[in-house]
Structure 1
Amino acid sequence: MATQTTIPDAKTPCSPNLFLPRSFLFSLDGRCEATCMNDISVPLGHLQISPDYRCHIAEAEAAFLVLIGHCIDLQTPSLSEAEIARTLLHTALQDSIEMMLTSTDHLVGRYTTICYAHGKWTVFTDACAMRSTYFAEDTSLIASHSTMIGEILNREPRRQLFRHYRYGLPGNASPVTRVRVLPANFALDLSSGRLTRFWPREERVERSVEELIDPLERVLVGTANAIASRWTPAVSLTAGIDSRTSLAAFRHIPSTVPFTYDLDASTAIDVKIAGELCRSLGFEHRRLLVVSREEAPSIYAAVEAMPDYKHFDEASAIYVKAFSDHNYIHVRSNLAEIGRAFWRKHPVMPTCFDVSNWIDIATHQHCQSEPLREEAIQYLLHEMEAFLDLAGYDVSDPANPLLFGYDGWDLVYWEHRMSTWHAQVLLGSDFAFDTSIIFNSRRALSLLLSAPLKDRIKASLLHEFTNRRCPEVRNIPINPRAAPRSLEDLVIGAYRQIRRRVPILRSLDRSTNLMAKLR
């Protein structure tokens, strides 16, 4: 079995302004190609990757597999991506494509895999689809960015319609017509455009925090070790429990670089608490200030021209200034939210599962009077209904949707929000460095989701992990309030809890918009 690793020529004449960072394009039609991308030789189809990216190709018999990006095998962390690609293809050929997909439960990273075996095309991503992968509904074409497909097919992004949305797009839509996101836990048949779920495969088994903490510690610390063996980990640190958990996993690694955005008053608590954590654990804490448009005009222009990206405007320029001159990798922590019942305790999310829930969750309230508002709402309802049908959650009890015993609230957060929002957030940091997340494996997430609901809501596993690894920071508060709750805060909180449970109140609220500020 032959394997090759392709690293684009660093002397490429293309300016970074002419290609999207860490991007790729694959088509079964050789006529489809993007400018300023490197052509990669593959047995079938046409593959291009950007000059700053790499891929790994394994071939055997009449089959081949392409692994784009980076990944680590948690069972054997010393394996390279080339060896992982070879192993995946061998499993597909000797066992089955289904067994190949099963074997990815222990992979962590940010990657897209294209496999041609047994005469069938299979495309899949890392556990949470952090390597954004878009596909055209009407032609065999995939890419890292929806606009790359749009340019080839002469389709413009729908900016006016999609400016109404926040925290991810409806369903698995993209800004470009008839171009969609490949969601987490699904594989794409490239020739037919069909999506097939491949996880979960077995019934969830509930286990206590005491049973789960040891295997979780092994997975998270093992992941941290593997990341640090390849890169210098730059851990984004806030006052919250998720990033504290990541820091705890890396606490024994001296090269770790914790950093916090120091933007304005809104990040003051993050800066203060992160600084205390770093002092207690012996790390130097980096505070990253805003980089102005005048300092980085080309970065701001490139980000604003990328409609797939959803995050704060200054992020990319901050990253480029702070991290582009070293072998850093960005260690993020948002995926931990999957394991702590995020939607079940969200103050705006209704308590019964319904497509209309996302009207308040995923639309900007300040766009209420802007053009295409009603069209945006109707499009959201249609796309979310189609996505939930695809997901296959059992919603016979709307308060407790299930799939193989897993909570539908947790799965839709994983498979929808992470695939259509957080993956796109990562596109902005690609200008400076790649991203790795210690929770981005089905092995880690299945452990977190095995805890009882009451413990997921309280994030008991994460607290136990940080207390065990970093007992000296036990008394440093998590997300403390800048000021005590006012009477208005208490009223808003009470209203939100009632609104979550009373559909007619939500309907009245939306039609009159009297309480928009409370949402």
Structure 2
Amino acid sequence: MVSNPHSYQVAGYTLHAEELADVDLAEGGNSWVAVIGRAWPLSTGIIPMDSPSVADVLLQMLGEAEWVGRIDEALYDLGGRYAVLIYRAGVLTAYTDACGNRSVFYSLTTREVGSHFALVRRGLEDQALASVVGNDHREDLSWERTRSPYIEALLPNHRINMQDGTQFRFYPVRHNRASVLCSDERLELAARLWSEQLERIVGQVAPKVMSITAGFDSRTMLALAQPHMDSFETFTYTSDEAVNHSAPSTYWSKSGANDFGGVQQLRPFLPTGHLIIEVPADRTEDPAQEWAREHVNILARNADRSHNVRLLPRYIEEFPDPRTIHYRGNLFEIGRLHLRSPVGGRREAFDDLLRRLARGASLDEDSVIRSSVAAEARLGYSKVPADYDLTDIFYWEQRHGRWFAQVLNETDAAFDTVTPFNVRRMIDLFLAYSIQDRSRGFAQRELLYRAAPLLTFVGINGDPDLYRRFVSNGRPEQP
């Protein structure tokens, strides 16, 4: 939620930004460009890495005949977490970052664009909300729609024209340019782009923290950050049952036990002061519940759906500087064919995914398939080239643009989150591999091994380490 806003008067609009948000604003004539959040040009892009103002470079592009295509291309190599607003010839256009980590909502009724649904909704005369249909996966299946008929969400790879309210797909609309690279070239480029962004993160005048779990994504981001570990504080959240070596009583505490055990094996690779954030498995004994009740209205305005609100007061206590940057790796899943089943071809696999999500959300499968036809037409699915899997596009744009963005909106109460995977060129490098290689996480495993081979020794997500798997189970053959 915006608090202590700084306001900027620009042609046609007033821009409000929270006092800690980076605002890069460039004006010229009756045009302007605003980049809100962290936006980092990479060495592969057309915006110079040393440019003091991304907004100023984009503003200069507005004077070119093919300015729209130039802006689209510039955003291909822009990392960070940000939104871009462009005002030209009386029309406001908005973009979000590669994976929609910076959520953007808009209303054609009021011509307002905002980072949070609640901010846009409060400008409406009719603030009524539709009842929620379905459950767990409703954000995935809502496409760009929200609970207000007057507000929509801007999806990744789209731009919104506020004059007519249309979302236009600008990516991916041509063949994956990483497909012409060999595997070594892809991996070397991915490592380089990741390193460039880590340099940006550690160069920020703010505390840096890294969450560590027993999972694959966490292990990879830890491996890639090894040269910079002295710049980070690290932490793991887990249940009190795991810390006390008690049998887990809930699914969440079982997951916490898995993380706690895995992280103990990773201790040699972590800073001495690695922090364990202990959360009671029994919610009724958790003092954070009272904190959540006291702040329920603010939390509801920040995010449409809670992920794990009990962690927020603990984050705020341990990392009290509101400028703190959280380095995270969740988006790797986009590169691993995460939701695709082996069913049929491209179209069959996509329909199978929609049916599985419908069942998970307690929605009628045939109705979901029918509604998807209209949504795909609105959102330009027919423009997606054949070398992109439709389940990838859906997972990229819906799960991360709608669900994961809300997780980050919630944790914004404690820190700003950045993942170096959040770049279209980086994503393309992973999506260029075959279905077989992607389903086994080949590119990610190779990055991990090349960056820190010793980190491949320790088991991932509860697997035994390599010694236990292939050398000895720890028991003598003779008693």
TM-score by length of 2: 0.82
1:118-162 CA distance string (max 9 Å, x none):
443221011111110011244422111122222221323335436
CA distance in 2, matches of 1:307, 1:427: 6
Report the alpha carbon displacement of residue 302 of structure 1 after superposing the two structures with TM: 2.5
Counterpart for residue 218 of structure 2: 243
Report the alpha carbon displacement of residue 226 of structure 1 after superposing the two structures with TM: 1.1
CA distance in 2, matches of 1:268, 1:225: 33
| 2:290 alignment partner, SS class | coil
Do the aligned partners of 1:155 and 1:177 also contact (CA within 8 Å) in 2? no
| 1:287 alignment partner, SS class | strand
- Classify 1:301/1:405 alpha carbon distance in 2 versus 1 (closer, same or farther; 3 Å): same
Match of 2:198 among 221, 224, 234: 224
Matched, 1:136 2:107: yes
1:81-92 matches, cutoff 5 A:
83-92=53-62
Matched, 1:187 2:159: yes
Counterpart for residue 323 of structure 1: 319
Report the alpha carbon displacement of residue 337 of structure 1 after superposing the two structures with TM: 0.7
1:12-161 matches, cutoff 5 A:
20-21=1-2, 37-75=5-43, 76-80=48-52, 83-94=53-64, 95-153=66-124, 154-161=126-133
Report the alpha carbon displacement of residue 409 of structure 1 after superposing the two structures with TM: 1.7
Identity %: 25
Do the aligned partners of 2:376 and 2:382 also contact (CA within 8 Å) in 1? no
Report the alpha carbon displacement of residue 324 of structure 1 after superposing the two structures with TM: 2.9
Matched, 1:406 2:380: no
Report the alpha carbon displacement of residue 271 of structure 1 after superposing the two structures with TM: 2.0
| 1:93 alignment partner, SS class | coil
Matched, 1:234 2:215: no
Report the alpha carbon displacement of residue 99 of structure 1 after superposing the two structures with TM: 0.6
- Classify 1:91/1:388 alpha carbon distance in 2 versus 1 (closer, same or farther; 3 Å): same
Do the aligned partners of 1:257 and 1:283 also contact (CA within 8 Å) in 2? no
Counterpart for residue 234 of structure 2: 258
CA distance in 1, matches of 2:108, 2:349: 28
| 2:226 alignment partner, SS class | coil
CA distance in 2, matches of 1:379, 1:135: 27
Match of 1:429 among 401, 407, 411: 411
CA distance in 2, matches of 1:156, 1:166: 19
- Classify 1:152/1:220 alpha carbon distance in 2 versus 1 (closer, same or farther; 3 Å): same
Do the aligned partners of 1:67 and 1:112 also contact (CA within 8 Å) in 2? yes
Report the alpha carbon displacement of residue 256 of structure 1 after superposing the two structures with TM: 1.6
Q: What letter is aligned with 1:100? A: I
Do the aligned partners of 2:218 and 2:329 also contact (CA within 8 Å) in 1? yes
Report the alpha carbon displacement of residue 359 of structure 1 after superposing the two structures with TM: 4.9
CA distance in 1, matches of 2:385, 2:14: 37
CA distance in 1, matches of 2:454, 2:136: 45
Q: 120-129 or 338-347: which moved more?
A: 338-347
- Aligned-pair Cα RMSD in Å: 2.9
CA distance in 2, matches of 1:164, 1:280: 36
- Classify 1:96/1:305 alpha carbon distance in 2 versus 1 (closer, same or farther; 3 Å): closer
Report the alpha carbon displacement of residue 481 of structure 1 after superposing the two structures with TM: 5.5
Report the alpha carbon displacement of residue 295 of structure 1 after superposing the two structures with TM: 4.8
Do the aligned partners of 1:309 and 1:427 also contact (CA within 8 Å) in 2? no
CA distance in 2, matches of 1:351, 1:114: 34
Q: Which runs of 5+ in 1 are unaligned?
A: 1-19, 23-35, 396-401, 483-519
Do the aligned partners of 2:8 and 2:16 also contact (CA within 8 Å) in 1? yes
CA distance in 1, matches of 2:54, 2:276: 37
Matched, 1:203 2:175: yes
Counterpart for residue 420 of structure 2: 438
The total of aligned residue pairs comes to: 433
- Classify 1:362/1:255 alpha carbon distance in 2 versus 1 (closer, same or farther; 3 Å): farther
1:144-191 CA distance string (max 9 Å, x none):
112222222132333543656456452112232231111111111111
CA distance in 1, matches of 2:300, 2:342: 30
Counterpart for residue 307 of structure 2: 311
CA distance in 2, matches of 1:45, 1:200: 30
Q: 431-440 or 351-360: which moved more?
A: 351-360
- Classify 1:428/1:383 alpha carbon distance in 2 versus 1 (closer, same or farther; 3 Å): farther
Q: What letter is aligned with 1:342? A: H
- Classify 1:244/1:412 alpha carbon distance in 2 versus 1 (closer, same or farther; 3 Å): same
CA distance in 1, matches of 2:185, 2:258: 34
Report the alpha carbon displacement of residue 245 of structure 1 after superposing the two structures with TM: 1.4
- Classify 1:378/1:414 alpha carbon distance in 2 versus 1 (closer, same or farther; 3 Å): same
| 2:381 alignment partner, SS class | coil
Q: What letter is aligned with 2:107? A: A
| 1:109 alignment partner, SS class | strand
Q: 124-133 or 171-180: which moved more?
A: 171-180
Q: What letter is aligned with 1:288? A: I
Matched, 1:268 2:247: no
